[in-house]
Amino acid sequence: DGVNYLVAGPAGGRINKPTLKNKYMQSFDSNALTFTKIKYNNKTLRLETFNQDNIIIDQLFINL
């Protein structure tokens, strides 16, 4: 329906495995600590999720 959700990890906090099954979940790595950088420029919202090695593991671009 045109809705995007991003749930990022704890950025160095405790890792928990999800206890419920989610039919909308497309990717999950229970061993990765992550952080997400959010940028807005020229009507584009850009989200980049990095792992603890500073490698991009997911990204999303939304044109507004």
Q: How confident is the prediction for the chain on average, in pLDDT?
A: 78
Could you report the per-residue pLDDT of 20-41, keeping only the tens digit for each?
A: 677 777 767 777 778 889 999 9
Q: Which of 63, 47, 56 is nearest to 2 (CA)?
A: 63
pTM, full prediction: 0.64
Could you report the per-residue pLDDT of 4-21, keeping only the tens digit for each?
A: 666 666 655 566 666 667
Residue 38: C-alpha distances to residues 18, 22, 41, 58 (Å): 24, 24, 10, 12
